[in-house]
Amino acid sequence: MNSKIVTCTESISHSPAISQRSQSVTSSALGKNEDRLLARLKRGDEGAFDELVNQHHSALIRMAMGYVADREVAEEVVQDTWMAVIENLNRFEGRSSLRTWICGILIHKAKDRGVREKRHSTFSALESYDDENDEAIDPSRFKQSGKWAGHWVFPPQPWDDQTPEKLLASQQAVNAMQRAIEALPATLKEVLILRDVEGVDAKEVCEMLTITETNLYVRLHRARERVRDAVETYLEGRKMAM
């Protein structure tokens, strides 16, 4: 069993600790590392700014790609975001984490740019495509009737000894994941990037996107499932070719 599952199982008896941790994140907003980084940024430390850019640039580009037509425009939107960060850094008071603040600026600018590109109708189409009544996983993989309705007909095959490191060592697997992420509608992409790539706390993501936690998990799971499905297709294709 992997470490995350073990952690979840162990934490059943530690839920108060979890809620305390959430509260402390909410009240101080900035972690110690971010606090130090912010102090260096405010002092004008150019190395700190490079560090900040290196930390968040990937996530910002991937998130912007959900709203605008192509990578080139996404680069422009992210560049504008960094410019806004530089301009407003002295006014940032730490009410949210630095990361949340930067992602908030990006989302605002990317949406704005998407609308200006007259892609608004496309976004509506994508959002309706991401119908919350749709199933995350293909229903045909489960029995539809009888005593065992809702149980697997086509269960997932174990990925042998795959680990994140092994998966990432395969350029084809990485490409499959990147393509799956790129193909996600903006609503799914933003939650996947914020939660899994940037590691933003669930409550913060909800505040940033003005969605409920139930909504967040419906979207997050749908996004993770689409990436899992892409990896499954890649691994099964590789097995059949062998």
Partner 1 sequence: MKDHAPEGLTCWDVTDRASEYLDDHLPFLAKVRVGLHLASCPYCRTYVKQINLVSSAVRSLPKLYPLPLNRLRLRRQFAAQKGLPL
Of 127-156, which residues contact partner 1 (CB under 8 A)? 135-137, 139, 142, 147-152, 155-156
CB of 119 to partner 1, least distance (A): 22
* Alpha-carbon span 91 to 87, nearest angstrom: 9
Q: Is position 163 an interface residue for partner 1 (rule: CB under 8 A)?
A: yes
Contact status: 211 vs partner 1 (CB under 8 A): no
Which whole-number Å values give the CA distances from 84 to 48, 71, 87, 179, 187, in the listed order?
A: 16, 20, 5, 29, 24
Among 33, 54, 121, 133, binds partner 1 (CB under 8 A): 54
CA dist., res. 54 & res. 42, Å (int): 18
Handedness of CA 232, 237, 238, 242 (dihedral sign): positive
Four-CA torsion 26, 185, 69, 173, nearest 10 degrees: 90
Number of residues that bind partner 1 (CB under 8 A): 71
Contact call for residue 117 and partner 1 (CB under 8 A): no
Among 34, 40, 51, 89, binds partner 1 (CB under 8 A): 89
Q: Which of residues 58-87 bind partner 1 (CB under 8 A)?
A: 58, 61-62, 75, 78-79, 82-83, 86-87
- 207 binds partner 1 per the rule CB under 8 A: no
On the 0-12 / 13-18 / 19+ scale of CB atoms within 10 A, 6 is exposed
Query: Which residue in the set 213, 237, 238, 239 belongs to the binding site for partner 1 (CB under 8 A)?
Result: 213
Q: Rounded to the nearest whole angstrom, what is the least distance from the CB of residue 37 to partner 1 in the complex? A: 14
Binding positions for partner 1, 2-41, rule CB under 8 A: 2, 4-5, 7-9, 11-12, 15, 18
Distance between CA atoms of residues 191 and 137, nearest Å:
18
The verdict on 178 binding partner 1 (CB under 8 A) reads yes
Which residues have a Cβ under 8 Å from the Cβ of 37 and sit 6 or more positions away?
A: 48, 51, 52, 98
